[in-house]
Amino acid sequence: METVVSGIRSTGNLHLGNYYGALQNFIKMQNEYNCFFFIADLHSLTTHPTPADLHSNVKQVLVEYLAAGIDPEKATIYVQSDVPEISELYLYLNMNAYLGELERATSFKDKVRANPDNVNAGLLTYPVLMAADIIIHKATKVPVGKDQEQHLEMARTFGNRFNRLYNHEYFPEPYAFNYSSNLVKIPGLDGKGKMGKSEGEGNAIFLCDTPEAIKKKVMRAVTDAGPTTENQTKPQEIQNLFDLMKVVSSADTVAHFDDLYNKMAIRYGDLKKQLTEDMIIATAPIRDRINAIAGDADYLRKVAAMGEEKARASASKTIREVREIIGFKKF
Ligand code: TRP
């Protein structure tokens, strides 16, 4: 069975875009592949979180992924820092990662531009750590978005370079992987592009949002003055609301409002009310589970310990072999 690895950054709450875009893929994959999903807390150190923030961010991600349906009996879900073998592989890979190629990474250049006062070596070698994350389990499939393509290419480069250096076909090549039919676009509420946590207050609906918060955000969503001719093409802000509706509402409901729009009889207030209602219903089970799991310290401890054990079993096997290939020997 092929191995899947994906890292989840512990920054901020999960929103509907994460859920319908990425998580539903993970939930499907856990039934079909040997899946490792981890919380990337080592990666988060590049921005120097306080110990309290670090821990609460990790917990939040763990709780929300479990609540959304990642099953610790099917997939291995673990905290990256619980598996020190990853850091060891990162060190070895760093010996064959070159300054020039690391400086050329788009994500590095973006981060330098955004935070010129914090250009640390961890930031520069982020793609090396990410490569270690993936190849430590000899994964071949990595469910990530388009923005991670370059990092995956670098992971292949570093793995291949190791293989070549030691003349040993050891690491397989990892590739981006998604069920193409599941690549639904989840727009935000600001009338522009996709839902995101950094696009400003009110743009994203979080899985942990209360019904009141959802209502407030949807009611404030950007709209226009209404259609001016029959059957006209919808402007983006209106199309966005329909796209969201397609995800959380029934086909009948979408058709009903589409019809009203085409007849120029739509009232956006009604559309938003319906959208709010259906969003609240669609997210209710997850919200309930988030609240239940967040208070269950025993369960969280058990899940994290189980994940750690399974991840370390896989990672330590790789590290044992890598040490041998490199030439480390006991006296
Ligand atoms: N870089 C990824 C992101 O920004 C997170 C990540 C870290 C990751 N390590 C990974 C994703 C390994 C897939 C596999 O979203």
Mean pLDDT of 323-329: 97
The answer to whether the annotation marks 194 as part of a ligand binding site is yes
Both 124 and 246 in one domain: the answer is no
Residue 181's pLDDT is 58
Lowest mean pLDDT among 35-49, 70-84, 167-181: 167-181
Is residue 300 in a domain? yes
Q: Is the CB of 134 under 6 A from ligand 1?
A: yes
Q: Is the CB of 80 under 6 A from ligand 1?
A: no
Both 247 and 168 in one domain: the answer is no
What is the token pair recorded at 250?
């029934």
Both 170 and 275 in one domain: the answer is no
Q: Give tens-digit pLDDT for 178-233.
A: 886 556 789 999 999 889 877 777 899 999 999 999 999 999 999 999 999 999 99
Q: CB-based contacts of 52: which residues, under 8 Å, 6+ apart?
A: none
How close is the Cα of 225 to the center of ligand 1, in Å? 41
Residue 198's pLDDT is 75
Mean pLDDT of 257-278: 97
Position in ligand 1 atom list of the atom nearest CA 8: 5
Cβ–Cβ contacts within 10 Å for residue 112, how many? Answer: 14
Amino acid sitting at position 82: D
Lowest mean pLDDT among 12-21, 79-88, 116-125, 240-249: 12-21
Looking at every residue in the chain, the average pLDDT score rounds to 95
Q: CB-based contacts of 86: which residues, under 8 Å, 6+ apart?
A: 42, 80, 129, 132, 133, 136, 315
Whether residue 197 lies in the annotated active site = yes
Mean pLDDT of 227-256: 96
Is residue 331 in a domain? no
Q: Is the CB of 4 under 6 A from ligand 1?
A: no
Range of the domain at 258: 197-291
Both 244 and 309 in one domain: the answer is no
- CATH code of the domain containing 215: 1.10.240.10
C-alpha 222/C-alpha 120 separation (Å) is 39
The answer to whether the annotation marks 293 as part of a ligand binding site is no
Both 320 and 271 in one domain: the answer is no
C-alpha 182/C-alpha 22 separation (Å) is 8
Both 54 and 168 in one domain: the answer is yes
How close is the Cα of 291 to the center of ligand 1, in Å? 26
Amino acid sitting at position 288: D
Position in ligand 1 atom list of the atom nearest CA 130: 9
Of all protein residues, the one whose alpha carbon is nearest to atom 6 of ligand 1 is 7
Whether residue 194 lies in the annotated active site = yes
Residues of the chain with pLDDT > 90, as a percent, come to 89
Whether residue 111 lies in the annotated active site = yes
Pocket test for ligand 1, best of 130, 173, 178 (most atoms within 8 A of CB): 130
C-alpha 159/C-alpha 123 separation (Å) is 20
Tell me the pTM.
Answer: 0.91
Mean pLDDT of 136-151: 94
Mean pLDDT of 229-244: 96
How close is the Cα of 109 to the center of ligand 1, in Å? 17
Using H for helix, E for strand and C for coil, what is the string for the chain?
CCEEEEEECCCCCCEHHHHHHHHHHHHHHCCCCEEEEEECHHHHHHHCCCHHHHHHHHHHHHHHHHHHCCCCCCCEEEEHHHCHHHHHHHHHHHCCCCHHHHHHCHHHHHHHHHCCCCCCHHHHCHHHHHHHHHHCCCCCEECCCHHHHHHHHHHHHHHHHHHHHCCCCCCCCCEECCCHHHCCCCECCCCCCECCCCCCCCCCCECCCCHHHHHHHHHCCCCCCCCCCCCCCCCHHHHHHHHHHHHHCCHHHHHHHHHHHHCCCCCHHHHHHHHHHHHHHHHHHHHHHHHHHHCCHHHHHHHHHHHHHHHHHHHHHHHHHHHHHHCCCCC
What is the token pair recorded at 225?
């003055």
Amino acid sitting at position 266: I
Position in ligand 1 atom list of the atom nearest CA 151: 1
The answer to whether the annotation marks 145 as part of a ligand binding site is yes
Both 302 and 284 in one domain: the answer is no
Is residue 184 in a domain? no
How close is the Cα of 290 to the center of ligand 1, in Å? 23
Stated length of the chain: 331
Residue 183's pLDDT is 63
* Residue 200 backbone class (left: φ over 0; alpha: ψ -120 to 50; beta: rest): left
Residue 145's pLDDT is 83
How close is the Cα of 8 to the center of ligand 1, in Å? 6
**Catalytic site residue from 194, 273, 310, 317:** 194
Both 35 and 135 in one domain: the answer is yes
Position in ligand 1 atom list of the atom nearest CA 40: 7
How close is the Cα of 250 to the center of ligand 1, in Å? 34
Both 9 and 138 in one domain: the answer is yes
Is residue 190 in a domain? no
Mean pLDDT of 74-78: 98
**Catalytic site residue from 28, 197, 310, 317:** 197
Residue 201's pLDDT is 79
Residue 293 has pLDDT above 70, yes or no: yes
C-alpha 10/C-alpha 29 separation (Å) is 21
C-alpha closest to that of 62 among 323, 302, 321: 302
Residue 182's pLDDT is 54
Position in ligand 1 atom list of the atom nearest CA 143: 13
Both 152 and 248 in one domain: the answer is no
Is residue 136 in a domain? yes
Is residue 223 in a domain? yes
Both 268 and 171 in one domain: the answer is no
Residue 319's pLDDT is 98
Q: Give tens-digit pLDDT for 87-143.
A: 999 999 999 999 999 999 999 999 999 999 999 999 999 999 999 999 999 999 999
Is residue 189 in a domain? no
Residue 61 has pLDDT above 70, yes or no: yes
Residue 146 has pLDDT above 90, yes or no: no
Q: How far is CA 228 from CA 236, 242, 307, in A?
A: 15, 18, 56
* Main-chain dihedrals φ then ψ at residue 290, nearest 5 degrees: -55, -50
Is residue 54 in a domain? yes
Of all protein residues, the one whose alpha carbon is nearest to atom 2 of ligand 1 is 7
- CATH code of the domain containing 121: 3.40.50.620
Count of domains forming the chain: 2
Q: Is the CB of 130 under 6 A from ligand 1?
A: yes
Both 34 and 59 in one domain: the answer is yes
